[in-house]
Amino acid sequence: MTMDGGRRAVAAEGSEAVAALVADVGPRYRTATEFVEATLRQGILSGRLSGGTPLRQEELARLFNVSRMPVREALRQLEAQALIDFVPHKGAVVTDISAEDAADNYAIRRALEPAALTLSIPHLDAQDFARAEELITEMDAETEPGRMGELNRRFHMSLYARAGRPRLLALTEQQLASADRYVRFHLAAKGQEHMAQEDHLAMLAAARQRDAARAVAVLLGHLDTAAVTIDAFFRERAG
Amino acid sequence: MTMDGGRRAVAAEGSEAVAALVADVGPRYRTATEFVEATLRQGILSGRLSGGTPLRQEELARLFNVSRMPVREALRQLEAQALIDFVPHKGAVVTDISAEDAADNYAIRRALEPAALTLSIPHLDAQDFARAEELITEMDAETEPGRMGELNRRFHMSLYARAGRPRLLALTEQQLASADRYVRFHLAAKGQEHMAQEDHLAMLAAARQRDAARAVAVLLGHLDTAAVTIDAFFRERAG
DNA sequence: CACTTGTCGATTGGATCCAATTTAGCAATA
DNA sequence: TATTGCTAAATTGGATCCAATCGACAAGTG
């Protein structure tokens, strides 16, 4: 079997959401496990596989055109990332998202991102600032919500990149990606997004002046605004 | 291979007694994968499997008396927890620990634990305080370094337990467990440990008074002391 | 009628076999 | 001698097969 990324045959019938995911894979993967894991994670984080969706090993194997084994290994990794619930002898289910989960995610981001930003600011250089600025202008031009989320994530990470703490950054990036789940869930119902570009500009300006305290203050306000918006959406949806 | 020792509860009268019997069979695992994963993680975090150790699938399968498949699934999970490095077609190696990794770990703890503590303090009750105090006295009596690390971890977690953010707590616990790797590495060379019981007592006292700011200040000092000690050890060892 | 028991189908867990990849060793050559 | 290329052994990746477990529903029991 070749991991040519493109155009693995897709079974005719079956879960249409997964089939759509398989249809447009970009990069090439060295192992089938990598391929399945990356594709499923993308699907979950992007919201195309919504919370509660059961993931049957045999069905996935058929859709991905591999055997059940790489599927199982991929599911194990997703379980360790808390993206699916794996119950012995019962199977895997995409983890549900709730107001509590969103609050949890924001609590973690509130803790990690100020730390990353503070460590990073002294070491950012002109190139970093230029890249961050470029990402802001790209966001201004972007209309598609999917791409928008990625740009936002990259902007945040660009300001944290010089923290010199790879594990801290990896955790932060993971939580940023998780946050997208909630934002997209909100978008799917509300239609459009308020990207708070003033906050982004203010953060960048503070970083340029090496004013970590101000940058962190803006960041926390930025996170709180998003948290309140998402929380309100969940409450309104429940009530 | 049966993971429950072949004992299965027979529903009958006296189900109370039967339940007790089943309960005291001890930590039994439902699947071989769980068993392998937990054992390996324990081994890595406790330092018995030191950084750089290659983990050959076949060898592990033989040692655990299972086939290679549950070993592979366990390795996948450990990879997602950053406890091993997994390179396609090359194999798995226990991740190395270094001064940089220790600093990374402390940076994360410095971010997460104050958040957890602050969220938790308002909701701690008398029972929680009593348990925390008990853990401190247990630490005073404990001499074995392995048990000591666990008691320390449980003390910290007992103060964070009411944060009401399960994901945040799970991450925190994971990082606390990782920290043990560095502490034990240090202990193995230095012989004994300074558990900073004054810090623990001060944290507990501040928590009792619902003084989150002071508790966090003590905690940060506590973490910094440990970070400096470990970092000095790594430097001395390298230089 | 409530409650247990047994059986069957669906699904996952685990074992074994085969294929693909890496690596080390060795030989040939410049 | 250093380097390149090739072959074989070791090791991992993937496929297929069988066993164990769970859920639901039917049947028996008090």
Least confident window among A34-38, A152-156, A234-238, B84-88: A234-238
Q: Up-side HSE of residue B65: CA atoms within 13 Å toward CB?
A: 4
pLDDT at position B25: 46
**Contact (CB<8Å) B165/A103:** yes
Q: Is the Cβ–Cβ distance between A230 and A183 less than 8 Å?
A: yes
Contacts of residue B79, Cβ cutoff 8 Å, sequence gap at least 6: A77, A80, B85, B86, B92
- What single-letter DSSP state applies at residue A164? -
User: Phi-psi region for residue A88, left (φ > 0), alpha (ψ -120 to 50) or beta?
Assistant: beta
| Closest Cβ–Cβ partner in B80, B103, B105 for A81 | B80
pLDDT at position B238: 80
Stretch B220-228: mean pLDDT: 95
pLDDT at position B189: 76
DSSP H helices, A92-211, are 99-120, 126-141, 145-160, 166-190, 197-208
Which chain B residues touch A119 with a CB distance below 8 Å? 107
pLDDT level of residue A193 (50, 70, 90 thresholds): low
> Which one-letter amino acid corresponds to residue B193?
E
Helix (H) or strand (E) holding A86: strand A84-87
pLDDT at position B94: 95
Domain B31-94, what fold?
A: Arc Repressor Mutant, subunit A (1.10.10)
Stretch B74-82: mean pLDDT: 95
Print the SS3 string covering B75-105: HHHHHHCCCEEEECCCEEEECCCCHHHHHHH
- Indicate if the pLDDT at residue B37 is higher than 80: yes
Q: How far apart are the C-alpha atoms of A21 and A42, rounded to whole Å?
A: 8
Tell me whether the CATH fold assigned to B31-94 matches the one assigned to B99-238.
no
Q: Quick one: which of A42, A44, A153 has its CA closest to A95?
A: A44
Mean pLDDT of chain B: 87
Q: How far apart are the C-alpha atoms of A72 and B142, rounded to whole Å?
A: 42
Q: Is the Cβ–Cβ distance between A132 and A155 less than 8 Å?
A: yes
Count CB atoms within 10 A of the CB of residue B183: 21
Please report the ipTM that was assigned to this predicted complex.
0.87
Question: What's the CATH number of domain A99-238, 1.20.1740.10, 1.10.2020.10, 3.30.70.270, 1.20.120.530?
Answer: 1.20.120.530
Mean pLDDT of chain A: 88
pLDDT at position A18: 52
- Indicate if the pLDDT at residue A202 is higher than 90: yes
pLDDT level of residue A22 (50, 70, 90 thresholds): low
Positions in chain D where some atom is under 7 Å from a protein CB: 11-17, 20-23
Separation of B69 CA and D4 C1' (Å)? 38
For B111-136, how does the pLDDT look when each residue is reduced to its tens digit (9 = 90+)? Answer: 999 999 999 999 999 999 999 999 99
B86: nt with nearest C1' to CA:
D12
Q: Is the Cβ–Cβ distance between A61 and A75 less than 8 Å?
A: no
For A168-180, how does the pLDDT look when each residue is reduced to its tens digit (9 = 90+)? Answer: 999 999 999 999 9
Helix (H) or strand (E) holding B117: helix B99-120
**Contact (CB<8Å) A107/B165:** yes
Which chain B residues touch A110 with a CB distance below 8 Å? 115
Question: What's the CATH number of domain A16-94, 3.40.640.10, 1.10.486.10, 2.60.40.10, 1.10.10.10?
Answer: 1.10.10.10
pLDDT level of residue A13 (50, 70, 90 thresholds): very low
Q: How far apart are the C-alpha atoms of A184 and A189, rounded to whole Å?
A: 9
Helix (H, G, I), strand (E, B) or coil at B143: coil
Helix (H, G, I), strand (E, B) or coil at B55: strand
Domain boundaries, chain A: 16-94, 99-238
- Indicate if the pLDDT at residue B239 is higher than 80: no
Strands (E) across chain B are located at 54-55, 84-87, 91-94
Helix (H, G, I), strand (E, B) or coil at B1: coil
pLDDT at position B191: 66
Least confident window among A23-27, B18-22, B47-51, B137-141: B18-22
Q: Is the Cβ–Cβ distance between A44 and A74 less than 8 Å?
A: no
pLDDT at position B195: 67
Separation of A148 CA and C25 C1' (Å)? 54
pLDDT level of residue B5 (50, 70, 90 thresholds): very low
> From the CA of A189, how many Å to the nearest CA of chain B?
26
Contacts of residue B134, Cβ cutoff 8 Å, sequence gap at least 6: none
pLDDT at position B24: 47
